[in-house]
């Protein structure tokens, strides 16, 4: 689909930290050029403009869906947007918000004492559980280059290229020691989608899987490696559940 500038762009946020929006604003060197071809209709952290009735060419969605009111807003946003792009781990898998599964009621009571039971909510879920998603930009938050490349591809009528290798390959390219083998650390690099240049393992920190699972990731082999590293079945389950799936 070829879009003619100025492109009407809107960014809507649900349950999240606004870090994905902030990452795009951190692309200072490219913002002036983007402003020549994009017309902002809604972008809470960047503009006070609210184009509630405006047509939307590209709609960016950040955050997981956790309440009926958020779901209503998402459905309305989907109806207005020609193209809808889910941005960041929360929108793609539920992200950090979905890590507490069975203990949700206790967590609500602890975070909002005396009020949690009054609010209508449900376990955080990915955007594509409710509406059609045309594009996905992974990460927590996404890389600057990935945000810019995705927007530029859409502006030129195409789709951005998709990464197909795991973070482990980026570690090999960067000549990092394997944290899983050397330190018996619960690194999710073997099944996590690359694209971050192994940002965490570069610093000696195990991959947390924020970019989502890579296609054809060998989970069985990773479970075997985790067992060898001394993780319990419950610990392994909690590690893999951060991809937004029950295992």
**Which among 175, 213, 207 has a CA at the least distance from the CA of 189?**
207
The whole model's pTM is what? 0.88
CA distances from 24 to 30, 49, 113, 145, 206 (A): 9, 17, 35, 9, 25
Residue 50 half-sphere exposure toward CB, CA atoms < 13 A? 3
Is the torsion defined by CA of 75, 78, 84, 87 positive or negative?
A: negative
Domain ranges of the chain: 7-155, 167-243
Print pLDDT tens along the chain (247 aa): 667 778 899 999 999 999 999 999 999 999 999 989 999 999 988 877 776 667 899 999 999 999 999 999 999 999 999 999 999 999 999 988 887 766 677 777 787 887 766 677 888 899 999 999 999 999 999 999 999 999 989 888 888 888 889 999 999 999 999 999 999 999 999 999 999 999 999 999 999 999 999 988 899 999 999 999 999 999 998 888 888 664 4
Q: Which residues contact 102 (CB under 8 A, 6 or more apart)?
A: none
The CATH code of domain 7-155 reads 3.40.50.700
Q: State the residue for tokens 């970019």.
A: 211
């Amino acid at each position: 689909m070829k879009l003619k500038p100025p492109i009407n762009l809107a960014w809507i946020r649900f349950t999240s930290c606004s870090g994905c929006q902030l990452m795009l604003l951190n692309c200072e060197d490219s913002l002036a050029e983007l402003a020549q071809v994009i017309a902002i209709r809604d972008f809470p952290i960047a503009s006070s403009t609210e184009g509630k009735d405006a047509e939307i060419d590209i709609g960016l969605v950040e955050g997981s869906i956790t309440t009926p009111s958020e779901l209503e807003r998402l459905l309305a946003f989907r109806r207005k947007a020609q193209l809808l792009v889910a941005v960041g781990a929360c929108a793609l898998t539920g992200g950090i918000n979905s890590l507490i599964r069975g203990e949700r009621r206790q967590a609500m009571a602890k975070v909002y004492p005396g009020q949690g039971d009054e609010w209508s909510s449900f376990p955080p879920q990915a955007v594509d559980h409710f509406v059609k998603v045309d594009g996905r930009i992974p990460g927590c938050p996404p890389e600057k280059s990935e945000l810019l490349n995705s927007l530029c591809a859409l502006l030129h009528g195409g789709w951005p290229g998709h990464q197909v290798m795991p973070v482990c390959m980026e570690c090999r390219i960067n000549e990092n020691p394997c944290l899983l083998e050397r330190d018996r650390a619960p690194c999710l690099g073997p099944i996590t989608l690359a694209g971050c240049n192994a940002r965490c393992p570069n610093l000696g920190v195990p991959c947390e899987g924020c970019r989502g699972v890579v296609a054809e990731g060998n989970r069985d082999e990773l479970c075997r490696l985790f067992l060898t590293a001394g993780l319990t079945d419950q610990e392994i389950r909690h590690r893999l559940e951060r991809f937004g799936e029950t295992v």
